[in-house]
Structures are given as C-alpha cells and as structure tokens.
Amino acid sequence: MSHSSPAVRRVADWDFDQLSSLAAEHGTPLYVVDLDRVAENYERFASAFPDAHVMYAAKAHTGRAVLETLLDAGADIECAARGELQRAIQAGADPDTLQYTAVNPPDADLDYAAELGADHPGLTVTGGARDTFDRLEARGYDGRVAIRVNPGIGTGHHEKVATGKDAKFGIPYDEVAELAEDLRERFDLVGLHAHVGSGVLHDDLEDHCRAIAKVADLAREVDDADLEFVDFGGGFGVPYREDEEPLDMDVVGEKVREAVGDLAAQIKLEPGRYVVADSEVILTGVNTVKETPEATVVGVDASLATLIRPAMFDSYHPIANVSAPDRAVEPVAVGGPCCTSADVFCTDRPVARPEREDLLAIGNAGAYGYELANQFHSQPRPAEVAVEGGEPRVVRRRETMDDVTRVEREAEE
C-alpha cells in the first residue's frame, strides 16, 4: 500500500472496458466498488495522522465487503446506529473496539448497546443528550461513555450536514464541563467527541480547525489527563467536481495538530466519505434521448432510488459516457424514470453525447450512495459488484420484486 496513491480518483480513471463488461454481465443500474481504492484511501489518511487513532465512520458505506476491507487494513469502526453495530460485528469487528455514537437513539438501539456493553466492556457509547445517559443508566449500563459536544461551529458542503451548529447534535458547549463531573460519578467517562460537518475541502478547513481548537480547549478544561481520548470526528471531503483540488492530507494533518495543541488524551478521527467516496461508481443504461427546445434530455435506468444525493443535497456527481468517451461533447440533462422533477442527476452538463443503449458512469458514489438507496416506485435496489486485485465478485445481488413485496406477503401469512 502506498501513501503516494493518487489523492482523488476521477471517473475517467476507471477501466471503461471492465465497466462495460460488468454492466453486460450484471445489468444496470449497477454499483461497482473498488476495494483496493478503499484500502488506499484509508492508508493515505492514517499516514497523515500517525499518532491518532483512526476509525472508519460506518454510516458512509456499511457494505460487508467494505467493512471487511477496512478491518483488514487496521481500521476500527465507529457506528451511529444499532444496525451498524451489528453489521460491523458480522464483518468481523471485535465488539470491544467499537464506538457507538447515539443520536436520539430509539429504545431498541439502547437496549442492544447496553446488552453488548455488558458482555464487551470495551464498547464506548457516545451521548449527545442528557436523556441518553439517563436512559443508559436505567438499563444498568455503567461502562465507557463519551460526551458529544456541540461547538457551535458547522462546516461542510451543505447546510444539512453542518452538524457542529445544529442543536440536534451534541451537548451545548457551555454545559459540557458540568455534565462531565456528573457522568464521572455514574459511568467511566473516557472521552469527548465532536463532528462539525461533512465534505470539508480547503475553503472550509480554517473553520473546521477552529472548531477542533475549541473542542481541544474544552478537553483541557474538563481535565484531558483524565480522558482517554478526544474524538474530532471526520468530515474531510473529496472533490466531486472536476475543477476542485483534493485535500493535501499532509498539510491537513499539520493544521489539525496545530489546532489541537498539547493534549494529554489521544486524538481520534473518524473519516467516512474520504475513505469510500471515490471508490465506487454507478453504471446506468441510456433508454431515452429526447430533444426539446429547452434541453437534450437523456433518460437512464438509474434514479433517485439508486442515488438520492442530487435530489436531497443538490449534490454534483461527475458523469461519463463509458460507451463513447470520445464522442463530441454537448450539454445534456440526465434523469431517471421516477415521476418527479427531483429525479435528475444533472442539467446543462457537458457529456460525450449519449445515445440510446449507451452506458454512463456516475462517479463518486461510494459515500452515502447505496446507504441511501431505496425502493421508491417499487424499484428493486441494484446489485453491487466489488473489484479487488482486478477481480470482480457480486457482493450484493440485485433485488427482485419478490424482495420488494416480501414484508407485505409475510405479514399476511
């Protein structure tokens, strides 16, 4: 594994011949994840923070093949829900190494965490509300806990991911010191945690580091020598647009260490998007090309059920014509088969002119791609193929209509 691997993988860097073969064999829409790239991204990030404990934020992509790859690479796993804890364990994670960040946790999630902690005292539960700690105590849990801090500073690519200033997330900054004293009487308080946003690139780095410095100051106030760790979350972005530059992780590492300053507790970091975003593409077939006075509309078989980020976050995802990359480029709108104007991947986007039966690739689909896939319009979710060492294998089969309707049929039995 080389620390010098390219800092970003563009959609044009994929092997178009292999992608065409995979689409022909497995159909479209199809997710294709490069597990070697997942490991390379993790290694590059970890190399930039040699003294930190680097965990992978599972919510970005909980596919078993991805989790197994990262566990093999030496990553621990941070989970934000009961299902993620279960999936990490099924992938081979030691429950004593897991960190569970509870956000308004349902009773069933806390029940599971309390039971898991009883058998695995290394589990750490991070709470962002006083109620969460009270509910844990009511379940007999007295193990390792961390406080999620709301630093009042949010960063990232969209207001919906700027968690550091969202009241939903974390204990208000000025209340943490008092809460820490209370929790030390009831649990094993081992850390502080903060996550201020997602998709942070160079323009957001100053604010990101300002939030990190603020949390580090708070750690010293509550006696960092008595804490095992201070977790500064993730949020480090990748360039989705072709003209955006990737983060220089060596520079980022220096800036983060400068922001943290002297700290007795260990630094923890939780990259998610950075590790998986550019490791995956979606392959989709063109079924319709319609000329209108306003635009050339290209219809594809992928939809917002396949990739919801453009509809949810107005996210940019690069698109390439795999079938004819050298064809003349012209501006097009690309949309799916859902009956809503939100089902559009791009408008007025220069793409090598698509024709019916062409294959397109939608890039940077690894982070929150399959995680947010759904069955809108009763569309079965796509298959996913993993490539490792150049060899492909199916890691998620394509859903069928039987899968879509199974829960209803079983309810009637």
Residues annotated in the binding site, as ranges?
235, 270-273, 309, 368
Write out the H or E segment, with its range, that includes residue 349. Answer: strand 344-352
Binding residues for pyridoxal 5'-phosphate, by number, are: 235, 270-273, 368
Cβ contacts of 235 within 8 Å, gap of 6 or more: 155, 156, 195, 196, 197, 198, 199, 200, 208, 273
Alpha carbon 213 to its chain's center:
24
Sort residue 180 into left (φ over 0), alpha (ψ -120 to 50) or beta.
alpha
Q: Which residues are catalytically annotated? A: 339
Write out the H or E segment, with its range, that includes residue 185. Answer: helix 176-186
- Distance between CA atoms of 209 and 227, rounded to whole angstroms? 21
- Distance between CA atoms of 288 and 286, rounded to whole angstroms? 6
In the chain, what's the furthest Cα-to-Cα distance? 70
Answer whether 247's CB lies under 8 Å from 49's CB: no
Answer whether 137's CB lies under 8 Å from 145's CB: no
b/e 99-109 (16+ beta carbons within 10 angstroms → b):
bbbbbebeeeb
DSSP 128-162: SSHHHHHHHHHTT--SEEEEEEE-S--EESSGGG-
Burial class (CB in 10 A: 0-12, 13-18, 19+), 174: exposed
The closest alpha carbon to 222, from 179, 170, 193, belongs to 179
- Distance between CA atoms of 251 and 240, rounded to whole angstroms? 20
Nearest-5° angle of CA 21, CA 377, CA 381? 35
Answer whether 148's CB lies under 8 Å from 168's CB: no
